[in-house]
Amino acid sequence: MPGTVTDQLVQQRSTHPRRNVLLGLVLLVDYREHGRTFLNQRANAGRSELLGLQIILGKVRSFTSPGRGPSTGSDHCSDHALLVCQDPTLSERFFKEVLDFYPTERVQPELESEQCMATWLSAGQKIHDIAILGGPVQGKLHHFAFQLEDWSKVLRAADIISMDDISLDIGPTRHGITRGETIYFFDPAGNRNEVFAGGYRAYPDRPCVVWTPDQLAKGIFYHDRVLNEAFTTVWT
């Protein structure tokens, strides 16, 4: 149980102790029988009933604020990183021939080109474990990403980012490339972070998806279809 019913709490929280303690006991039985889902069922409860609920929880809590809520293991699982280099085709070849990765999606100057401007590579069945973006600098980090379970957890991350006034870069939105659901934000050191969910299962024998520069805005930001210049020019 999140809190404990005590005489002191009843005296502090209630102007009608006997009535609200009885209501609180009814809610306690409801809690044990139905779990936390009863919170939604009681959303339209009267003031006295809600006070009884607050006594059980041990404190008054808002029913309108998103709240922080408990963390889950998936909130701390690393998903991938995107690196910046001057020759992404050479880096892709290194990851393929030396480390046994395979490309799942690429940005190419032309559909039939063997050169790439960016590449997404997998070592298993994730849509990507590492991505490489071509740029004028060598050995820079574009971002690293944490894996979330689904779109609802991405939106939950957006709530927390807003509550804590964290520097937001992009999102919530979806990528065309990888089909992932995403938010980008900056940590206090200035590094770009991402929370990422979705995507699709990759296989080595599945044809690589190819994007060309004229489709790049849609590939990166599938909904807005507008390329944010800072997204491809800010690294650490």
Strands 192-198 and 180-186 come out as antiparallel
| Cβ contact 128:176 at 8 Å | no
- HSE of 33 in the Cβ direction (CA atoms, 13 Å)? 7
| Cβ contact 12:55 at 8 Å | no
Structure tokens at 62: 């808002």
- What residues act catalytically? 80, 128, 143, 175, 184, 194
CA angle 75, 80, 84 (to 5 degrees): 135
Residue 47: CB atoms within 10 Å: 8
- Phi-psi region for residue 139, left (φ > 0), alpha (ψ -120 to 50) or beta? left
Nearest C-alpha neighbor of 56 from the set 97, 96, 13: 13
Nearest C-alpha neighbor of 215 from the set 101, 92, 118: 118
| Cβ contact 123:101 at 8 Å | yes
